Amino acid sequence: MKGQLKKRTKDPYDGWYDCQYESRFISIDCIRGTFLIDGMTIGFLPEKIIFNELFVRVFGDHIFEVQAADSPNAYVTKYSYHVNGIVQYEFHFNDRRNHLIVKEWYTQTNDMFELIPHSFFENELPDMFVSNYSHWWNEKDQTIEFRPVHFKDIDFLNKSYILSMKTGYVTNTETVNAQILVNQSSAFFQSLFSRYFIRLDDKPYIYMMRDNTFQTSNIIHIHLSRLGIAFRYNATTNIIMSREYSDMCIDKHQCLGTLTGLSSGLLLSPLPINNQTVEHYPYRKLIVPFGEIRCERIFDASHQTVTIQRSSSISFLHQYFVFILNDRLKILQSTDSPTGWLYLALPHAVTSHPLPDQYMGMTGMERAFQLLNSAGC
């Protein structure tokens, strides 16, 4: 081979040299120390694969020892992985489409899965099913498995949800508590979201699961993934119970008589069966998400509209505040640290009106100054 190496270009800063050795085409980059046979690296994956977004998300900085696969321009791992070494991986980078293909081969069953970029589902599924899972296509069963994101996760091969391409349903894999994901485009989802849950968070961060058993098929579980709270809707009684406050449900009438114009925040009331026990100490709760408070003056409206923006650029989006509507004292009270009292003062101030609030009997600005001057702040 000596004397047959030829410089690829005349550029003095280009270190590539090429030669033909029998049936193999050999390339050497003398500057970066890269050695290729037929355009493929030896022993390890090339940089265009290990730095690819799809590879980094799932495999991170894991170093695979590989060899040439049967498929052209593809690499297969030398060793098997996971429990009892039942899985091997194949990597192929399509230069024409700038696309990485990752396949997972089960050596015992010969089943083959292909890794699907999570970005394919961003406009189709709730964020929880996109950001929290890796997605593996099984062509044989026509299903997509939702599995842990990280390759080194001990449960990496265990699927939590399955999307059947035949039915179009996303179902969990629990046999005792089987559930089906409610389509966000359905009239049912849109009705509950636009009436109640839009007041807490954006649509991608809310999902609903319907019980898939005959006895409880009328139960819908509503999850707010970013806030970490949940509700349980009973289609028979038409009551939406809170998971965090099991003795309370969503009030069908979200008018507070104060904080007029605030479009964010969800009002909870005691369950109907508990009304008798709390009639001597009536109370309600208001869940208000953390975010950037913005005001908008609407033409011909007596009050400005106040919204809480929860864009991804804002920190602490998992935080929310719970305020108590004390119907005896006719005031809102914070259940949290001084942060809650400070946060409550702001919506009181920005929703203030020249006339006293119907609920408090004072203006929002008056109540805001009371809070700022109180021991709670």
Q: What is the DSSP string of 315-357?
A: S-TT-EEEEEEETTTTEEEESSSHHHHHHHHHHHHHT--SSPP
Report if residue 262 sits inside a domain. Answer: yes
Query: Is the domain of 25 the same as that of 60?
Result: no
With beta carbons less than 8 A apart as the criterion, state whether 43 and 35 touch: no
Query: Is the domain of 268 the same as that of 326?
Result: yes
Question: Residue 7's pLDDT is what?
Answer: 84
Question: Residue 25's pLDDT is what?
Answer: 75
pLDDT in tens, the chain (377 residues): 454 788 888 888 888 888 887 777 778 888 877 778 777 878 889 999 999 999 999 999 999 999 888 887 899 999 999 988 899 999 999 988 899 999 999 999 999 999 999 999 999 999 999 999 999 999 999 999 999 999 999 999 999 999 999 999 999 999 888 999 999 999 999 999 999 999 999 999 999 999 987 766 799 999 999 999 999 999 999 999 999 999 999 999 999 999 999 999 999 999 887 555 555 556 899 999 999 999 887 766 667 889 998 887 777 889 999 999 998 899 999 987 789 999 999 999 999 888 899 999 999 999 999 999 987 76
Query: Is the domain of 233 the same as that of 266?
Result: no
Question: Residue 71's pLDDT is what?
Answer: 81
Query: Is the domain of 145 the same as that of 34?
Result: no
Report if residue 57 sits inside a domain. Answer: yes
State the Cα–Cα distance between residues 31 and 138, nearest whole angstrom.
Answer: 42
Query: Which residue type, as a one-letter code, is found at position 353?
Result: H
Query: Is the domain of 107 the same as that of 13?
Result: no
Per-residue tokens: 295: 């005001």
Domain boundary among 242, 272, 290: 242
Report if residue 135 sits inside a domain. Answer: yes
Query: Is the domain of 186 the same as that of 215?
Result: yes
Report if residue 351 sits inside a domain. Answer: yes
Query: Is the domain of 48 the same as that of 7?
Result: no
Question: Residue 86's pLDDT is what?
Answer: 92
Query: Is the domain of 366 the same as that of 258?
Result: yes
What residues form DSSP beta bridges with 210? 180, 220
Per-residue tokens: 220: 């819908």
Query: Which residue type, as a one-letter code, is found at position 315?
Result: S
Name the nearest CA neighbour of 206 among 186, 232, 187, 228.
228
Domain boundary among 194, 213, 242: 242
Question: Residue 91's pLDDT is what?
Answer: 97
CA torsion through residues 38, 41, 43, 46, sign: negative
CA torsion through residues 213, 217, 221, 222, sign: positive
**DSSP label at 297?**
P
The alpha carbon torsion through 343, 341, 335, 224 (nearest 10 deg) reads 0
In terms of residue numbers, what domain contains 234?
180-242
Query: Which residue is it, tokens 């899965």?
Result: 113
State the Cα–Cα distance between residues 229 and 244, nearest whole angstrom.
Answer: 7
State the Cα–Cα distance between residues 318 and 323, nearest whole angstrom.
Answer: 17
For 101, other C-beta atoms within 10 Å of its C-beta total 15
State the Cα–Cα distance between residues 356 and 1, nearest whole angstrom.
Answer: 93
Whole-structure pTM value: 0.86
Query: Is the domain of 303 the same as that of 340?
Result: yes
Q: Into how many domains does the chain fold?
A: 4
State the Cα–Cα distance between residues 347 and 204, nearest whole angstrom.
Answer: 25
Query: Is the domain of 188 the same as that of 271?
Result: no
Query: Which residue type, as a one-letter code, is found at position 372?
Result: L
Question: Residue 338's pLDDT is what?
Answer: 84
**DSSP label at 298?**
P
Query: Is the domain of 48 the same as that of 63?
Result: yes
For 357, other C-beta atoms within 10 Å of its C-beta total 21
Instruction: Catalogue the long-range contacts made by 3-10 (C-beta closer than 8 Å, 24 or more residues apart).
Output: none
State the Cα–Cα distance between residues 371 and 377, nearest whole angstrom.
Answer: 7
Q: Where are the alpha helices (DSSP H) in the chain?
A: 47-50, 53-59, 127-131, 187-195, 338-350, 364-372
3-state SS of 57-81? HHHCCCCCEEEECCCCCEEEECCCE
What residues form DSSP beta bridges with 209? 181, 221
With beta carbons less than 8 A apart as the criterion, state whether 64 and 76 touch: no
Report if residue 377 sits inside a domain. Answer: no
Question: Residue 275's pLDDT is what?
Answer: 58
For 346, other C-beta atoms within 10 Å of its C-beta total 14
Report if residue 293 sits inside a domain. Answer: yes
Query: Is the domain of 189 the same as that of 278?
Result: no
